[in-house]
Structure 1
Amino acid sequence: MVKAVVAGASGGIGQPLSLLLKLSPYIDELALYDVVNSPGVAADLSHISTKAKVTGYLPADDGLKAALTGADVVVIPAGIPRKPGMTRDDLFNINAGIVRDLITGIALYAPSAFILIISNPVNSTVPIAAEVLKKHGVFDPKKLFGVTTLDVVRSETFTAAVVGKPDPSVFKIPVVGGHSGDTIVPLLSLSEPKVEISGSDRDALVHRIQFGGDEVVQAKEGKGSATLSMAHAGFRFVDSILKAVAGETGVVENTFVYLSGIPGGDAVKSIIPGLDFFSVPVELGPSGAVKVINVLSQVSEYEKGLLEVAYTGLAANIKKGVDFIVGAPEAK
């Protein structure tokens, strides 16, 4: 029996993500939590003829406790979306508090669950989650993930468009660093199959991967952000986790993790300057993160330049997340 929870299930990401999870053959119980509308979303999804039983919870009557108790996987897309001119970092103050409170609930009611954080800015919200879990004595680095899969999905899609391949899914492109702007570093030199893109075409492709979210915000004329593609990316990561739990081997996803807590992480940490968290390819297994795959020693000179820029931004983002919790009052 697998119980999955979506925290923030009524939002622009939460609803399509919940729909995709309802279709998963791995999920037996799907609990939806939000501050509004989650019982209605649950009722709607419950009419779909797949095996997952769907329930919806609000904050009243210990709804968070009821949603989380017995959870195997908790996905957190909760938070406000980006608006025109707003960076992921601009979302920090509101979304940081939301994530802190939800992680406190997980620490109390589902301490052994896999935790998948979508709420932006991921570069800061994952360190926030780690610090909250540490305070409660239940931090397992192998089970805490920042979902950066959308950067990989965009890399596949945009690269296919540049080289004229009709099916983006044939590509496997590592994307390392973080999950905002120039902290996102697509390693095109390690693409499988290989691609030959250089000069201004490569610069334009990298920029589009890094700032692809802006395209969606602009196309929606300020009335939304990347919700459907993010829901797909979130589902892809959940699906990989559940496949690994079910015993499938060789499952690898790029994800933002606490390096020192995972085998192979220290090798990456020795290359990057003082960063505890980093997005890297990670092999998944029944217990979570099995191994960090070190691709940094293989990058091109061009990508080394991109990484140098990413390190600076990431260091500030991570510190901001840690500082939000360290010395702060506990969530009520």
Structure 2
Amino acid sequence: MVKVAVLGAAGGIGQPLSLLLKTNPSVTGLGLYDIVNTPGVAADLSHIATPAKVEGYLQPNGGLAKALTGAEVVIIPAGVPRKPGMTRDDLFKINAGIVRGLAEGVADTCPKAFVLVISNPVNSTVPIVAEVLKAKGHYDPKRLFGVTTLDVVRASTFVAELLKDPSAASSVVVPVVGGHSGVTIVPLLSQSSHPLPSGVDLDALVHRIQFGGDEVVKAKDGAGSATLSMAYAGYEFACKVIKAINGEKGIVAPSYVSLAADSAGGEALANELGTSLEFFSARVELDAQGVAKIHTLGNINESEKKLVAAAIPELKTNITTGHDFIQKPSL
């Protein structure tokens, strides 16, 4: 039985994510926080007949601390959505400050919680949370996760569409590694659970997976970004974390984590990458303490090796951007 806090619960991701969490029988407490509308969201959800007790808080009167009190899992989707023509890096200037403040609340109120970061750009916001927790003396790399599950959801969905088999939609799994923006998203199509049909334009498929979010932004015509699919993906990953907390074994999920979370696995992955990186999205085995094992890339083909090589410089820049926001605020 787990209490989950959702920070940014009244937003486009936060509301459907909170709804999904309310339906999970393992969630017994749901602490919702946002700067507007949270009490209304909580009241609405509280009418659903499931075990979770829902409480919604606003910023005044210590609302953030109240939402976080007793939380074992904290999910952070807070921030502004991406608009047409806006890259994930453009979001950084706005969302970095939001994430920093929320991370300070986590450090002060529930420092041992599992922290799941959805706020974009994830490649930079996760290092921000890490730096805040370090400064507060509460950093445990095993318990900090960047949620990259949407990339796996998209890759798996797009491959299932190519198979033209409706029954495959819920069973196709395509591993995705690297990061959570553009060229840092590396789908390992050679490791797909279902072989791709012949004649597929692999370059076009990789590009669609890497920039799938642009499809949604364009389709919403300035009215938002990928909120519903992100809420679904965030819930999928949160469920895996909750199961691990409750003692289930053998759970492996993709996530953007510190390679220090598993020194042996992280070192093996770094050797495979041919460079040192503080954070990388890899397949991670979960247990009740968080990251139990970081898996290496395994057998990848030459095209995928090139994609990984192209992702590394961008990842290094993104990680440095996050660090500098905390360590060198004058920049």
Match for residue 274 of structure 1?
276
CA deviation digits over 1:257-298, x for unaligned, max 9? 000222411111223222110000001111111101112x41
Instruction: Report if the CA contact (8 A) 1:245-1:287 is conserved.
Output: yes
Which TM-score applies when normalising by structure 2? 0.96
Aligned residue number for residue 256 of structure 1: 256
Equivalent pair of 1:260/1:269 in contact (CA under 8 Å): no
Does the alignment pair 1:85 with 2:77?
A: no
Q: Tell me the distance in 2 between the aligned counterparts of 1:113 and 1:107.
A: 9
**Equivalent position of 1:109 in the other structure:** 109
SS in 2 for 1:169: coil
Are 1:284 and 2:318 matched, yes or no? Answer: no
Tell me what 2:170 maps to.
169
Which amino acid is the alignment partner of residue 44 of structure 2? D
Partner of residue 211, structure 1: 211
Aligned to 1:218, what secondary structure does the other structure show?
helix
Kindly report which structure 2 residues correspond to 1:186-197, keeping only aligned pairs within 5 A, or say none: 186-196=187-197
Relative distance call for 1:25 and 1:197 in structure 2 (3 A) is farther
Partner of 2:95: 95
Please tell me whether the aligned partners of residues 127 and 322 of structure 2 are also in contact (alpha carbons under 8 angstroms): yes
Residue segments in structure 1 that go unaligned for 5+ positions in a row: none
Alignment of 1:206-245 (within 5 A): 206-245=206-245
* Cα distance between partner residues in 2 of 1:227 and 1:30: 20
Contact 1:269 1:276 in 2 (8 A): no
Distance 2:304 2:244 in 1: 31
Name the CA shift for 1:85/1:250 in 2 (closer, same or farther; >3 Å).
same
Task: Report the AA paired with residue 5 of structure 1.
Answer: A
> Which digits, 9 at most, give the CA deviation of each residue in 1:196-255, with x for residues without a partner?
556x61111111100000000111111110000000000000000111111221111100
Cα deviation digits, residues 120-162 of structure 1 (max 9, x gap): 0000000111111111111111100000000000011001111
1:171 Cα deviation (Å)?
A: 1.6
User: In 2, are the aligned partners of 1:30 and 1:53 still within 8 Å (CA)?
Assistant: yes
Counterpart of 1:301, as a letter, is E
Change beyond 3 A, Cα 1:305–1:196: farther
Deviation at 1:304, TM superposition (A): 0.7
- State the partner residue of 2:141: 141
TM-score by length of 1: 0.96
Aligned residue number for residue 328 of structure 1: 329
**Aligned equivalents of 1:32 and 1:40: distance in 2?**
10
Cα separation, 2, equivalents of 1:322 and 1:196 = 43
319-328 vs 117-126, which moves further? 319-328
> Which residue of structure 2 aligns with residue 319 of structure 1?
320
State the one-letter code of the partner of 2:250. G
Hey, what's the Cα distance between the residues in 2 that align with 1:100 and 1:61? 19
Distance in 2 (alpha carbons) for counterparts of 1:243 and 1:25: 11
- The question of 1:3 aligning with 2:3 is answered yes
Q: Distance in 1 between matches of 2:283 and 2:170?
A: 17
SS at the partner of 2:284? Answer: strand
Secondary structure, aligned partner of 1:325: helix
| Partner SS for 1:281 | strand
Task: Identify the residue that residue 45 of structure 1 maps to in structure 2.
Answer: 45
Please identify, of 32-41 and 168-177, the stretch whose mean Cα deviation from structure 2 is larger: 168-177
Answer yes or no: is the 8 Å Cα contact 2:76–2:117 preserved in 1.
Answer: yes
SS in 1 for 2:27: coil
What code does the residue aligned with 1:257 have?
V
CA root-mean-square deviation? 1.2
One-letter amino acid of the structure 1 residue matched with residue 122 of structure 2: V
* Partner Cα distance (2:327, 2:300) in 1: 35
Instruction: Please say if residues 71 and 113 of structure 1, whose CA atoms lie closer than 8 Å, have aligned partners that are also in contact.
Output: yes
